[in-house]
Chains A and B, each alone.
Chain A
Amino acid sequence: MIRFENVTKTYPRSTRPALDDISLEIERGQFVFVVGPSGSGKSTMLRLVIREEPTSTGSVLVAGHDLALLPPRKVPRLRRQIGTVFQDFRLLPNKTVSQNVAFALQVLGKPSRTIRMLVPETLELVGLDGKGKRMPHELSGGEQQRVAIARAVVNKPPILLADEPTGNLDPTTSLDIVRLLASVNTQYGTTVVMATHDNVIVDELQRRVIELDSGVLVRDEAQGGYVLKNPDEEAVAPELPENDLWANPDADWADDVVRGDD
């Protein structure tokens, strides 16, 4: 489903590669944790999969397509095959829960009959039935992340990427969210790739674990726990280019969609 072949990614203003000669394959329907300290290249891996960034060398294949050969106008089609969930939820604050989920279908031009059918169905799947009319700010963090997951899977994409989806949540809620992702994985057969540094979750679920350290693949276990080689050594996160979907979660994530004067 997702294959990395000798992938190296170096950001323009960085000397050290964010990913260093990574080769791995994630099969259809797998649930994979990507672990490692901050700056180890977890997010970069996910960014390459939705072609938010090109690789420096090597190739990333998604559903059999080499992303380096994908013309820019076909990138939207790729992203329709991939749902994405972030640490900071990224809900539209002026839309209700239902509208937030429906938005993902509306902008793809889905007929409103389909939308009326899929949205409640998906809200039920994520455990939010009856809360469709709430506004995001009326929900708890865990519930907001459920809305974000509903939005990511409402179009039934074969791949779901989650970048630290539990980073803003307390441990109990975190476990609920990961169980939800696991149930999406089993119910829909969705390939789930989750970047995290939450050891409790990883140890609890006992799924495939890919560990990165300074951009290097150091461990790939079929059923592993969260064991970091050098947990004290925290690498510095790379400086992301402007206008990036992976903006710093502390900042307003959408600030850079519109470019400045440069």
Chain B
Amino acid sequence: MRLRFLLGDVWVGLRRNLSMAISVVLVTMISLFLLGLGLLAQRQADVMKGYWYDRVQVSIFMCTKESRDPNCPTAVTEDQKANIRAQLDQLKPLVKDVFYESEQEAYDRFAEQFRDTPLIGNIAVGDIPQSFRVQLSDPSKYDVIASTFEGAPGVDSVTDQKKVLEKLFSILNKFTRYAVALAIVMVVCAVLLMATTIRQAAFSRRREIGIMRLVGASNMAIRLPFIAETIIAAVVGAAMAVGLLFAAVRALVGDNNRNVVLNQATIGAADIWHVAPILGAMAIVLAILTSTITLWRYLRV
């Protein structure tokens, strides 16, 4: 089959069946858009992990005079602090870095962060305990630090900033799951619609197909126009889905572009370009599978 004849056939087929072709394009677009959103949410989580895990710290708060923890009969002593420091040093290389923050420094940082709020009047030096800020080489090994220092003499509590991030990640994970579940439903719709469209297209061209069989056109020559039409519709749908993803990402995270810190922790155009080939490949695979199976099932050649 000559390329020009094939393309002419495809063009006539698409034009004759335009409303069906458009519906295949739109349904494919929505299903791949949802799938793309799911994939992007996952990338967003990865980006945030990469960015924040380097920066999250485990804080070991020392006892103060006011501590109500049973582990804190008195405020922490210098010996206890030295002990903790020594133990932290022994935990290298898991412990990458240790900062000590005195009560004065803690107060100054708080005062700096909340300088324009009335909160500052309610806090005095000594209200925020002194602490060791520990940076881990592997942030997931928070438990090692917690079990070592929780209940150690002079330690009030051990907190992990990662816990806060985990909550965010679980939200993103949930979002991914919903998006992918919806995408699967829409993919099923797309496949069924493609199959119906092909059957209708085959029916509207049944005379041509009958003649083709009679004069000995190969099975491929009979099927190729239908497969090509489905691929074209699906790829157009995928391209539109990628366009929608750009619009969605711009709407959701575009405003943060001025914020340098957040910008480094959010997805952008580069991530969409990573997802786009997946969506395109998916569209082509779906189109080929669906049309081949439909034609094999319904078209006598």
Contact = CB atoms under 8 A, between A and B. Distances in A.
Interface of A: 50, 73, 75-84, 90, 92-93, 103-104, 106-109, 111-112, 151, 155, 243, 245, 253-259
B300 A107 contact: no
Contacts of B214: 50, 79, 84, 90, 245
Given A73-B219, A243-B300, A258-B202, A107 B1 contact: yes
A253 B298 CA distance: 17
Interface residues of B, number: 27
B215 A108 contact: yes
A80 B2 contact: no
Contacts of B300: 243, 256-257, 259
A109 B212 CA distance: 11
Secondary structure call for the A interface: mixed
Nearest to A81: B216
Interface of B: 1-2, 4-5, 199, 202-203, 206-219, 221-222, 297-300
B211 A106 contact: no
B216 A80 contact: yes
Contacts of A255: 206
Given A76-B218, A109-B221, A258-B299, A103 B211 contact: yes
Secondary structure call for the B interface: helix
Contacts of B299: 257-259
A258 B199 contact: yes
Given A109-B221, A243-B300, A257-B300, A77 B216 contact: yes
A151 B215 contact: yes
B221 A107 contact: yes
Given A104-B211, A245-B210, A258-B206, 6 more contacts: A79-B214, A82-B216, A106-B1, A107-B211, A257-B202, A257-B300
A165 to B, nearest CB: 14
25 contacts: A76-B216, A76-B218, A79-B216, A80-B215, A90-B211, A92-B207, A92-B208, A104-B211, A106-B1, A106-B2, A107-B212, A107-B221, A107-B222, A109-B1, A109-B2, A112-B2, A112-B4, A245-B214, A254-B210, A257-B202, A257-B213, A257-B300, A258-B199, A258-B206, A258-B209
Contacts of A107: 1, 5, 211-212, 215, 217, 221-222
Nearest to B218: A76
A245 B207 contact: no
Contact of A259 (B213, B216, B298): B298
B295 to A, nearest CB: 10
Contacts of B217: 76, 107-108
